[in-house]
């Protein structure tokens, strides 16, 4: 059998006493040696030399109650027992010189005595395996009488040995992974493996993350879920700021990202903090980062590496400590080769790169995502709609077939479910409604392959309403719809669309101007709707 070696501090108050009545008090170090189910072969006691009289008495008393126990006194030179760095350093020095023999001896760290700093230090040394030991804790008997013995408990910091705790930690990890997938049960093995890795990266690092993939693959939703996961783990205190870089142009891009000082340029009538400043202690998602100019890319690199940048027109830098998630729909390596993207910025954001597959590459996940979109519709509209059995089978048969292009990925699916629910008068989607939607999807995908603008306008306005829009106006309207989809508010969309007018003081109310423009085409701003627009 292995020998039991206990390591601990002499309690200068709990273990003290030289008078006969000391036996009437509870003394933890003495109690360790009185345990009926555990013999102590050696007791390594840490001693403050100023308390040698307590130590001498304690050694003599241990010899009386446990003659087989060898007591070794270890003097530690600690000036301040409440200084964590000093106490931990002294114990680490001792541990590095001590000859642990785990083949022949079991080691237990007694943390009932000593200052809280000493107890914490012993715990940390055991957790880091600088001391290959388990933790021993004593609780006093109810009345602390001589005849009573305190209850001993032993904690092994190898958490894998605790089945229920291991199961709970495994459940938490599954919960976190499900959280990143918005609670959607997915069957695509490659996607699930990627999400599991993203979950580990999200909670273990603050380095930039790059999410690549086609439009509508779920980059924005995943970035937001990463933020929510980190906030749930109390790893982030600031706000989530999402920016679609494709909507930023010229001085407006610099001002929106980094802020400006009053008078920095024509039209800068007051200071602006900028979106990166708003994300201090939080997370920034830069979607379509490839759309930024080289100057903006250089400033982003500096902000990520140094946590500081200069607003336009400022002489002093401002600081913002944020984590960056970048999204892209292009191959940034090719963009670097073409001179459109900075190589040093790519090297900085490409440490954790994840390529999100499109919906057509995850056909086995269409069914659970279909249910998710139905739930979203119910939450948004306050009306729950489901399929009848025949209709669901018909829809999934088409949706999972090679014929279904899903060119806009999850945006296609979301829009499809919204149409199905809208055209259903009751609570059940029938076969006729599904067949009509399948024909619409086929037509839209054929159209998208030939004219992306027209496909977008048909989906947003409807084919009949589009007939009333002059061909001359259609590209402008399609551009406005895309900007609205990428903006967080009507005002932000207006500032982007009328940025030149604003600098020339020709626009006084961008939001109202955009509102009237949309109304002319039968549209209105709706923050909860697809592309932030709905029929007026």
Could you tell me the pLDDT band of residue 503, with boundaries at 50, 70 and 90?
low
- Say yes or no to pLDDT of 385 above 70: yes
- Say yes or no to pLDDT of 344 above 90: yes
Average pLDDT over residues 316-326: 92
Could you tell me the pLDDT band of residue 251, with boundaries at 50, 70 and 90?
low
- Say yes or no to pLDDT of 144 above 60: no
- Say yes or no to pLDDT of 168 above 60: no
- Comparing CA positions, the residue from 481, 457, 460 lying closest to residue 471 is 457
Tokens representing 290 are 């490839």
Alpha-carbon gap, residue 448 to 164, rounded angstroms: 53
Beta bridge partners of 75: 47
CA distances from 38 to 33, 64, 102, 167 (A): 8, 17, 18, 30
Could you tell me the pLDDT band of residue 364, with boundaries at 50, 70 and 90?
very high
Please tell me the least confidently modeled range out of 52-61, 257-266, 336-345.
Answer: 257-266
Average pLDDT over residues 49-65: 91
DSSP designation for 34: T
pLDDT number for residue 235: 81
**SS3 state at 326:** strand
Average pLDDT over residues 387-395: 94
Q: Where are the beta strands (DSSP E) in 240-307?
A: 240-244, 283-287
Alpha-carbon gap, residue 442 to 452, rounded angstroms: 14
pLDDT number for residue 526: 86
Q: Report DSSP letters for 67-115, one per residue.
A: TT-EEEEEE---S-TT-HHHHHHHHHHHHHHS---TTTEEEEEE-SSS-
- Comparing CA positions, the residue from 304, 303, 291, 284 lying closest to residue 349 is 304
Tokens representing 111 are 């943390």
- Comparing CA positions, the residue from 13, 27, 65, 61 lying closest to residue 144 is 27
- Per-residue HEC secondary structure of 468-493 comes to CCCCCCHHHHHHHHHHHHHCCCHHHH
pLDDT number for residue 444: 85
- Say yes or no to pLDDT of 304 above 80: yes
pLDDT number for residue 300: 92
Beta bridge partners of 110: 8, 136
Please tell me the least confidently modeled range out of 39-43, 381-385, 438-442, 486-490.
Answer: 486-490
Please tell me the least confidently modeled range out of 108-112, 187-191, 205-209.
Answer: 187-191
Could you tell me the pLDDT band of residue 173, with boundaries at 50, 70 and 90?
low
CA-CA-CA-CA dihedral for 503, 507, 508, 512, to nearest 10:
-130
- Say yes or no to pLDDT of 460 above 90: no
- Say yes or no to pLDDT of 286 above 90: yes
- Strands 318-319 and 209-212 come out as unpaired
Residue 373: how many other CB atoms lie within 10 Å: 20
- Say yes or no to pLDDT of 206 above 60: yes
Under 8 Å between Cβ of 152 and 38:
yes
- Strands 386-387 and 352-355 come out as unpaired
pLDDT number for residue 164: 59
Could you tell me the pLDDT band of residue 349, with boundaries at 50, 70 and 90?
very high
Alpha-carbon gap, residue 128 to 376, rounded angstroms: 46
- What is the helix (H) or strand (E) element at residue 32, kind and residue range? helix 28-32
Could you tell me the pLDDT band of residue 37, with boundaries at 50, 70 and 90?
confident
Q: Where are the beta strands (DSSP E) in 262-407?
A: 283-287, 308-309, 318-319, 323-328, 352-355, 386-387
Please tell me the least confidently modeled range out of 306-315, 360-369, 426-435.
Answer: 306-315
Please tell me the least confidently modeled range out of 166-180, 184-198, 318-332, 387-401.
Answer: 166-180
Average pLDDT over residues 471-478: 88
pLDDT number for residue 508: 66
pLDDT number for residue 379: 87
**What does pLDDT average to over the chain?**
86
Average pLDDT over residues 491-507: 76
- Say yes or no to pLDDT of 504 above 80: no
Better pLDDT: 250 or 531: 531
- Strands 70-75 and 42-47 come out as parallel
pLDDT number for residue 325: 95
User: How confident is the model over 75-101, as pLDDT tens digits?
Assistant: 988 888 899 989 999 999 999 899 999
Average pLDDT over residues 9-30: 88
Beta bridge partners of 243: 286
Average pLDDT over residues 329-343: 92
Alpha-carbon gap, residue 443 to 421, rounded angstroms: 19
Q: Mention every residue, 6+ apart, whose C-beta is less than 8 A from residue 425.
A: none
Average pLDDT over residues 51-57: 90
Q: Where are the beta strands (DSSP E) in 62-133?
A: 70-75, 105-110
Average pLDDT over residues 214-237: 86
pLDDT above 70 as % of the chain: 92
């Amino acid at each position: 059998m292995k020998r039991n070696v206990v390591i601990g501090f002499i309690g200068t108050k709990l273990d003290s006493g030289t008078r006969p009545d000391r036996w009437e008090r509870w003394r933890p170090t003495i109690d360790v040696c009185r345990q009926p189910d555990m013999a102590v072969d050696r007791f390594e006691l840490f001693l403050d030399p100023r308390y040698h009289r307590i130590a001498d008495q304690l050694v003599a008393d241990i010899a009386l109650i446990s003659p087989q126990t060898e007591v070794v006194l270890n003097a530690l030179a600690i000036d301040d027992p409440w200084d964590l760095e000093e106490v931990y350093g002294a114990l680490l020095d001792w541990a590095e010189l001590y000859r642990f023999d785990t083949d022949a001896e079991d080691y237990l760290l007694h943390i009932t005595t000593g200052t809280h700093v000493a107890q914490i230090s012993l715990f940390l040394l055991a957790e880091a395996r600088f001391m290959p030991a388990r933790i021993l804790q004593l609780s006093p008997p109810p009345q602390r009488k001589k005849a009573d013995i305190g209850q001993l408990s032993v904690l092994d910091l190898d958490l894998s040995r605790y089945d229920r705790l291991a199961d709970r930690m495994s459940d938490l990890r599954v919960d976190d992974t499900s959280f990143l997938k918005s609670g959607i049960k997915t069957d695509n093995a490659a996607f699930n493996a990627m999400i599991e890795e993203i979950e580990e990266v999200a909670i273990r690092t603050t380095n930039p993350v790059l999410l690549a993939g086609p439009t509508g693959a779920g980059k924005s939703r995943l970035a937001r879920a990463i933020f929510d996961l980190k906030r749930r783990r109390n790893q982030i205190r600031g706000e989530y700021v999402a920016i679609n870089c494709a909507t930023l142009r010229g001085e407006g891009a610099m001002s929106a990202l980094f802020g400006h000082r009053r008078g920095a340029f024509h039209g800068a009538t007051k200071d602006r903090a900028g979106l990166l400043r708003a994300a201090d202690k939080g997370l920034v998602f830069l979607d379509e980062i490839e759309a930024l100019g080289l100057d903006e890319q250089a400033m982003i690199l500096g902000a990520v590496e140094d946590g500081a940048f200069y607003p336009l027109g400022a002489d002093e830098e401002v600081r913002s400590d944020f984590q960056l998630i970048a999204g892209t729909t292009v191959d940034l390596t090719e963009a670097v080769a073409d001179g459109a993207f900075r190589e040093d910025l790519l090297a900085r954001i490409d440490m954790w790169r994840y390529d999100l597959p499109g919906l057509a590459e995850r056909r086995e996940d269409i069914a659970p995502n279909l249910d998710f979109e139905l739930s979203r519709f119910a939450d948004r509209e306050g009306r729950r709609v489901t399929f009848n059995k025949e209709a669901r089978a018909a829809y999934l048969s088409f949706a999972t077939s090679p014929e279904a292009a899903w060119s806009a990925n999850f945006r296609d699916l979301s829009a499809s479910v919204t149409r199905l629910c809208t055209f259903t008068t009751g609570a059940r989607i029938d076969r006729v409604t599904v067949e009509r939607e399948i024909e619409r999807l086929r037509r839209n995908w054929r159209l998208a392959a030939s004219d992306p603008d027209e496909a977008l306008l048909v989906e947003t306005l409807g084919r009949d309403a589009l007939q009333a829009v002059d061909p001359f106006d259609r590209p402008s309207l399609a551009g406005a719809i895309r900007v609205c989809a990428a903006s967080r508010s009507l005002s932000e969309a207006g500032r982007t669309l009328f940025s030149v007018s604003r600098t020339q003081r020709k626009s006084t109310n961008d939001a109202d101007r955009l509102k009237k423009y949309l109304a002319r085409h039968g549209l209105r701003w709706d923050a909860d709707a697809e592309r932030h627009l709905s029929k007026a």
